[in-house]
């Protein structure tokens, strides 16, 4: 990969297992602050936006898009979420439109590296990507180099209609999923009534030696969780947390397996999808929900018209995923509300820190990893 491309990419996404894959929210969501410059630019863009086309015009556009997509007959996408999500939305899309699909699932870092390597070689296989984590790694250089197309410029009917909630519409992309970080616990060792209800609860002496933690240098999005903790609770929390002698694991998958085996009692942090697979297979695992937390945000990246092999099919699939129908299918088992029902998010949810991933080494040291 070209070093000029990789450096900004690496600043946003560290290599290694992505939390949702190895095991899986920005403007307008409570608890997050943007710079004044960004706020003014976004406000100006919105005020200058043209009125939505009429319902008849939008239907005509959608009909034309469906016709063009069916003529292409297939679509290929890359995804950083779990395979079951990719298959579920792919099957639903095919059932609705009769267009075949195929996908490649990789964790966040390797997926980004592959996409950019293909872009540099002039042969991008993915017509669109479902990104988990910082989408700017794709859109920053990608749009400038003509590899990626801003969704705001792609004539997506669901966007042009104005139905996508504004806080999830980023212009270059649309957030289609928010998966909050939570606390996991072993139900054979922890009763539901005594499970931690706040992060401060894990400092209770009864959890000493029983807290499991994954290395934030392996899953970059984990670092974003600890960035929020540092911001809201300060370094004193980490001093007390280290005094609990947490059990340290190299990655989320290993920690979840150990939690199911009873090596520890609780795991901080974890996502609902991470625990679902082992739980469905009989592991004694459950989630304790946090009110104050951040999460992983999945967004859509559209390959540019000149580079995509199935551009119209990709636009139709993207359109499907941001409609209430498609977004419900995408989020049916993720532990998060759809973008049309974001009231299901934790009451003090804050979007992930834009600098959290770049500070993974700092959080590893604060947590006791050497």
Tokens of 7: 């450096």
- 94 token code pair: 């095919």
Two tokens at 243?
A: 């005094």
Q: What is the pLDDT of residue 45?
A: 44
Residue 185 shares a structural domain with residue 156: no
**Which residues of the chain fall below pLDDT 70?**
1-51, 219-220, 334
Q: Given the structure tokens 């092999």, which residue do they identify?
A: 309
Given this model, what pLDDT does residue 356 score? 87
Contact (CB, 8 A) for 202 and 330: no
Count of the separate structural domains present in the chain: 2
**Residue 270 and residue 230 share a domain:** yes
Tell me: do 127 and 23 sit in the same domain. Answer: yes
pLDDT for the residue numbered 353 = 86
- 141 within 8 A of 309, measured Cβ to Cβ: no
Same domain, 106 and 155: yes
CB 288 within 8 A of CB 182: yes
Q: How far apart are CA 370 and CA 364, in angstroms?
A: 7
Q: Which domain holds residue 264?
A: 181-294+355-367
d(CA 192, CA 285): 11
- Do both 274 and 319 map to the same domain? no
Query: Can you give the pLDDT at residue 32?
Result: 37
Q: Which helix (H) or strand (E) holds 94?
A: helix 83-97
Distance CA 268, CA 251 (A): 12
Same domain, 54 and 202: no
Q: Which two tokens stand for residue 280?
A: 């469905």
Indicate if 225 and 188 belong to the same structural domain. Answer: yes
pLDDT of residue 18: 36
The CATH number assigned to the domain holding 248 equals 3.40.190.10
Long-range contacts of 319-324 (CB under 8 A, 24+ apart): 319/62, 319/65, 319/156, 319/157, 319/158, 319/159, 320/89, 320/92, 320/93, 320/96, 320/97, 321/89, 321/130, 321/176, 322/156, 322/158, 322/159, 322/164, 322/174, 322/176, 323/158, 323/163, 324/163
Largest CA distance in the chain: 64
Beta-carbon contacts of 183 under 8 Å, excluding residues fewer than 6 positions away, are: 195, 196, 199, 202, 266, 267, 268, 269, 270, 287, 288, 289, 290
Whether 86 and 170 map to the same domain: the answer is: yes
Which DSSP string do the residues of 108-129 spell out, in sequence order? HHHHHHHHHHHHHHT----SEE
Residues 203 and 255 in one domain: yes
> For residue 52, what are the contacts with CB-CB under 8 A and spacing of at least 6?
58, 160, 161, 162
Q: Are residues 151 and 132 in the same domain?
A: yes
Domain check: are 86 and 163 in the same one? yes
Same domain, 65 and 145: yes
């Amino acid at each position: 990969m070209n070093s000029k491309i990789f450096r900004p990419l690496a600043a946003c996404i560290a290599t290694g297992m992505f939390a949702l894959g190895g095991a899986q929210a920005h403007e307008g969501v409570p608890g997050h602050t943007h710079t004044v410059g960004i706020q003014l630019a976004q406000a100006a863009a919105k005020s200058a936006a043209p009125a939505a086309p009429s319902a008849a015009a939008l239907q005509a556009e959608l009909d034309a898009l469906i016709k063009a997509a069916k003529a292409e007959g297939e679509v290929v996408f890359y995804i950083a979420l779990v395979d079951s999500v990719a298959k579920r939305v792919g099957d639903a899309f095919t059932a609705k439109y009769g267009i075949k699909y195929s996908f490649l699932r990789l964790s966040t870092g390797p997926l980004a590296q592959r996409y950019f390597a293909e872009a540099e070689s002039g042969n991008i296989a993915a017509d669109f990507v479902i990104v988990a984590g910082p989408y700017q790694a794709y859109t920053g250089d990608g749009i400038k180099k003509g590899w990626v197309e801003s969704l705001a410029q792609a004539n997506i009917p669901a966007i042009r209609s104005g139905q996508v909630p504004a806080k999830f519409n980023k212009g270059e992309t649309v957030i289609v999923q928010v998966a909050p970080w939570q606390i996991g616990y072993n139900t054979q060792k922890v009763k539901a009534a005594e499970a931690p209800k706040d992060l401060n609860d894990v400092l209770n002496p009864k959890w000493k030696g029983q807290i499991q933690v994954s290395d934030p240098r392996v899953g970059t999005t984990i670092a974003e969780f600890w960035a929020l903790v540092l911001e809201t609770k300060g370094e004193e929390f980490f001093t007390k947390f280290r005094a609990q002698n947490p059990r340290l694991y190299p990655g989320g998958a290993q920690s979840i397996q150990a939690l199911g085996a009873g090596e520890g009692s609780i795991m901080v942090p974890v996502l609902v999808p991470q625990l679902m697979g082992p739980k469905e297979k009989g592991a004694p695992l459950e989630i304790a929900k946090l009110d104050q937390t951040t999460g992983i945000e999945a967004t859509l990246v559209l390959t540019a018209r000149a580079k995509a092999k199935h551009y119209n099919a990709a636009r139709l699939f993207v359109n499907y995923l941001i409609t209430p129908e498609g977004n419900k299918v995408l989020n049916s088992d993720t532990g998060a509300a759809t973008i049309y029902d974001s009231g299901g998010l934790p009451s003090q949810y804050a979007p992930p820190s834009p600098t959290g991933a770049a500070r993974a080494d700092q959080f590893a040291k604060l947590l006791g990893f050497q």
